[in-house]
Amino acid sequence: MLENWVVMPTCLPVVLRRCHTCASERFRANGKFRVNANHKLIDAWLLVLCTSCGETAKLTVLERVNVRSVQPELLDRLHGNDVGLTAELLQAPVVQRRNRIALDWTDAWRLDTGGSDHLDREVIDISVRFAARIPVRPVRLIAEGCGLSRAEVERLIAKGKIVSADRLSGKLSGDFAFMLKR
């Protein structure tokens, strides 16, 4: 029987970028946007606040784009300060590259295993799905979901008791599956 686990965000991640005022490197997104139109061109920024000094920084979302080329739904979400849009844009590779930012997901996600009734079986097939692109070590997810230590999970992988078609070393941010044999 296949068990489904989900890695879910609990809040917005911390934005890693250098503050020009206090040299801190951590910003918190609060879901606010600034939109500015100049004739037929529009600019939009996501506002983030420095966690140390509270200084506001702008992350470019749209820059000198013709208003007619922007979808009306996107404009409504920008004007409405949609937090869901904030989460989408922070994870967008284009926005990350353009603004030279990285995300810190520490304490911003949780693993939903659907209960622990599966832990007593001899063979467990588990599919792990990511609700957002959150880079996490599979060893940490397996340890947390099965109630084992990370060292024990590493030992089980080395013995061939935990097998997967995907690599279990390093960090993953995409769906994967594994089998645990006791």
Alpha carbons 129 and 80: distance in angstroms, whole number: 30
Alpha carbons 44 and 32: distance in angstroms, whole number: 11
**What pTM, to 2 d.p., does this model score?**
0.81
**Torsions phi, psi for 85 (to 5 deg):** -65, -40
Question: How many helices and strands, by DSSP H and E, does the chain display?
Answer: 5, 10
Give the pLDDT confidence of 108-143 residue by residue, as tens digits.
Answer: 999 998 876 666 678 889 999 999 999 999 999 999
**How many other C-beta atoms lie within 10 A of the C-beta of residue 36?**
10
- The parts of the chain modelled with pLDDT lower than 50 are none
Helix or strand (DSSP H, E) at 72: helix 72-79
